[in-house]
Amino acid sequence: MKFMEMAPRLLNPAMRLFYPLSAIIAEIHISRTTRMMKKTLSIWVLVFIISAVAFAEMAWAASPKMGKGRFAGMVLIPAGPFTMGRNDGPDEEKPAHRVFLPAFYIDQNLVTWADYLPFIQAKGPAGPQGEMYLDTDDPDSKIIPKGDTWVVEKGFDKFPASEMAWGGALAYCRWKRKKLPTEAQWEKAARGADGRLYPWGNQKPSGEYLLLGDFRGQTAVVGSYPRGASPYGVNDMAGQVWEWTASLAMNYPYKPKDGRESLSAVDARVVRGGNSASAPDGMTTTSREVVMPGRQATGHGYLGFRCVTEPPHST
State pTM to two decimals: 0.81
Looking at every residue in the chain, the average pLDDT score rounds to 87
**Rounded to whole angstroms, how far apart are CA atoms 139 and 2?**
116
Please tell me the distance from the alpha carbon of residue 284 to that of residue 83, in angstroms, as a whole number: 14
CB–CB of 311/71 below 8 Å? yes
- Enumerate residues 6+ apart whose C-beta is below 8 A from 121: 149, 150
With CA atoms as reference, report the closest residue to 187 among 97, 278, 263, 69.
97
Number of residues that this document lists for the chain = 315
- Contact present, 134 and 295 (Cβ < 8 Å): no
For residue 242, which phi and psi values (nearest 5 degrees)?
Answer: -60, 150
- For the stretch 115-136, pLDDT in tens is 999 999 999 999 999 999 999 9
CATH topology (fold) of 66-309? paralog of FGE (formylglycine-generating enzyme) (3.90.1580)
- Residues paired with 303 in a beta bridge: 242
Query: Using one digit for the tens of pLDDT, what is the confidence trace for 260-297?
Result: 999 999 999 999 999 999 999 999 999 999 999 999 99
Other residues' Cβ atoms within 10 Å of the Cβ of residue 91: 8
**What values do phi and psi take at 36, rounded to 5?**
-65, -40
> Taking a C-beta distance cutoff of 8 angstroms, is the pair 154, 148 a contact?
no
Per-residue pLDDT 10s for the chain (315 aa) are 433 444 344 334 444 444 444 444 445 454 555 565 555 545 554 444 444 444 454 455 558 999 999 999 999 999 999 999 999 999 999 999 999 999 999 999 999 999 999 999 999 999 999 999 999 999 999 999 999 999 999 999 999 999 999 999 999 999 999 999 999 999 999 999 999 999 999 999 999 999 999 999 999 999 999 999 999 999 999 999 999 999 999 999 999 999 999 999 999 999 999 999 999 999 999 999 999 999 999 999 999 999 999 998 744
What's the rounded Cα separation, in Å, for the pair 166 and 171?
9
Where are the chain's structural domains? Answer: 1-63, 66-309
124-152 as b/e, with b when 16 or more CB fall inside 10 Å? Answer: ebbeeeeebbbbbeeeebbbeeeeeebeb
